[in-house]
Every structure is written in C-alpha cells, then in structure tokens.
Amino acid sequence: MTKIAVLDDWQLVARTSADWSPLIARADVRFFESPFANEDDAARRLAEFDIVLVTRERTPFPPSLVARLPRLRMFGLTGARAGLIDVAGMISRGVTVCYTGGGPSGSSTAELALGLMLAAARRIPAGDVAVRGGRFQQGTEAGTLLDGKTIGLIGLGRIGTRMAAYCRALDMRVMAWSQNLTAEMATSAGALRVAKDELLSNADVVSLHLVLSQRTRAILGSAELARMKHGAILINTARASLVDEAALVEAVQSGRITAALDVFYQEPLPINHPFTHAANVILTPHLGYGVIEVYREYYQHSVENALAFLDGKPIRVLQSAGH
C-alpha cells in the first residue's frame, strides 16, 4: 500500500481541515504533529514514504535530505512558493511536485502584522503578563499612540497594500518603498513612494512585505537598522532572511528599536535564542497564514492532489522551481 506522510501539523488542524477518508481508504496515511529533531531524524522517519505532504516554511527539504528519500514519488507543498524546499532537485529526480491554493493568506498575514503593530505600540503582551501575575499596571510601560504616526511599508504588493489600508484607518501616514515600486503604484494604494533611507529615517513603524530573493535577502542590515528612529517598531511577517539576524539582535539588545516578529531563521525558534530574552521583542510562532480558512484550502487541495496522483492524473503540478 502507498505510504503517505502528512508533515508539519504543529497546530493539530490537518485532520479537521479536510475530508481525508477517500485518501485513507487507498493509502497508509500518517500525520506528523511535531518538528523533526534534525535532518537525520527526518531522513530516517520519512525513508519509507512514497508521498510527502508538507506545510510551507516548516520542515526544510534541502538537496541533502531529498537525496536520502529513495521512495519519494510525489511531494505536495502548500502554496506555490517554497524557499526551504529543493523543488528543482525533486523535479530533476522525477518526483511529481504539486502545489495548493493559498486561501486568504494575504488577509491573514496582513491582519497579523496589524496585530503585532498594536501589540508593540501598546505593550499588550507585557500587560497580559502583569495582570496574570497580580501586578495589574505596576511595572508596565505606557504605550504610544499610532494615530498621526508614520508607517513605512517595505513592499507594497498584495499584503503590503492591505496593511496600508489598515494603517490609513488608524489615521497613520503611509510611506512605502521597494525596488520596483513606482510613485503611481504607491499613490493607488494610498501611500507615498519614498527612498528606502528616507523611509527608515522617518517611520515610527517599519513593516516588511517583500518576497525573499537574492536581491532582497538581508535588505535590512546594520546600516539600515541604525537609520531607524530610536524607539521605532520593526514588524516582520514576511521572511526572516530579509533582515540580517545578528544586526537585529544587536539593535534590540541595545534598546534602540522594538521588534515584532513572526518569522525566524530557525523554526521552531530555539528556547535560548537572544530574542526570547529581550523584553522589547514580541514573538509569534509563524502564524501569518495560520488561520482555519487557509488551512482548509491547503489540506483539501493536498488531499485532491494526492488522490489525482494515485489515479495517474496529477493536478496542480509545478513544472519548475519558479512555477
């Protein structure tokens, strides 16, 4: 019987997000609900599987791991982009790689960015801890008003445009920059197109909404973070590698800025990471797309993809790493 591994169900939503019964009737389906310890652990536990269905940006599949999965015939990823997965290598090995729709992940990620901005500005996580600890307001800091402040959006695509609308509703001034952004495109989204340095120097909040590529990797380094206002908030719900990690650690440890982060170089984030000990860092566990509505589309499409592959008529097939 074909063996299928459903990975990365860290929030325990896979079983209830789709009807798996047609697939379970035809294959041995196993759900993995916690991260692998390392690549060796993943290779050992996945070696027997013919089909692997993953959730994006969780378990990495570099070439070294792909080479250790001799039975792999189909690989299903959620969404169509996979920075941690050697899609090209799989295709070259004859593995069928399928993708899913993304559901309302643009809205869910923009909403989380908004939530992180509010949480950072009003010190909401620290307030929650204080109330639970019996201190109420004692030991808490007063927050800052967002009305009238300036947000700088680095990236003004689908998610950045939604974030711009949310911020305009708060009566914030919206500035934006990306390499391809024109003044007309910014104006249509209700933003002012400015140079990157001007954005960093003037924004009270900076929020990242770029696709990770070779030219956007580490687009914020030590020099860029140093240009930010003292006390400014940096929000990253996009990709960790857009920001140089060592530079960001230094910036928050020095107290110059506050960071609100949903994405990390290593996920799960190690418990002893400097971010976990910094009071001016707010952390969420990569929840940008993690809403029920998105998971339903991810998993229903994953089931459909696997069934179609078993029927010999695969659907939603990636022809190359790019599309």
Count how many Cα atoms sit within 13 Å of the Cα of residue 263 in the half-sphere of its side chain.
26
Count how many Cα atoms sit within 13 Å of the Cα of residue 51 in the half-sphere of its side chain.
27
Is 166's pLDDT higher than 80? yes
Q: How far apart are CA 178 and CA 91, in angstroms?
A: 32
**Local confidence band at 57 (pLDDT 50, 70, 90 cut-offs):** confident
Q: Are strands 28-31 and 3-6 parallel, antiparallel or unpaired?
A: parallel
Residues 121-161: pLDDT tens digits? 999 999 999 999 999 999 999 999 999 999 999 999 999 99
Q: How far apart are CA 8 and CA 290, in angstroms?
A: 12
The CA–CA distances, whole Å, from 209 to 60, 109, 113, 290 equal: 22, 10, 10, 17
Residues 216-227: pLDDT tens digits? 999 999 999 999
**Local confidence band at 321 (pLDDT 50, 70, 90 cut-offs):** low
Which pLDDT belongs to residue 80? 84
3 state SS of 59: coil
**Local confidence band at 81 (pLDDT 50, 70, 90 cut-offs):** confident
Q: What is the pLDDT averaged over residues 252-265?
A: 97
What DSSP designation does 140 have?
P
Q: How far apart are CA 263 and CA 284, in angstroms?
A: 8
Q: Percent of the chain, pLDDT > 70? A: 99
Amino acid at 306: A
Residues 275-310: pLDDT tens digits? 999 999 999 999 999 999 999 999 999 999 999 999
Handedness of CA 75, 81, 85, 87 (dihedral sign): positive
Count how many Cα atoms sit within 13 Å of the Cα of residue 111 in the half-sphere of its side chain.
9
Which pLDDT belongs to residue 323? 57
**Local confidence band at 56 (pLDDT 50, 70, 90 cut-offs):** confident
Catalytic positions, written as ranges: 239, 267, 286
Query: Rounded to two decimals, what is the model's pTM?
Result: 0.94
Which pLDDT belongs to residue 45? 98
> Could you give the angle at which helices 105-121 and 124-132 cross, rounded to 10 degrees?
70
Judged by average pLDDT, the poorest of 79-83, 117-121, 204-208 is: 79-83
Instruction: Compute the mean pLDDT over every residue in the chain, rounded to the nearest whole number.
Output: 96
Q: How far apart are CA 129 and CA 123, in angstroms?
A: 10
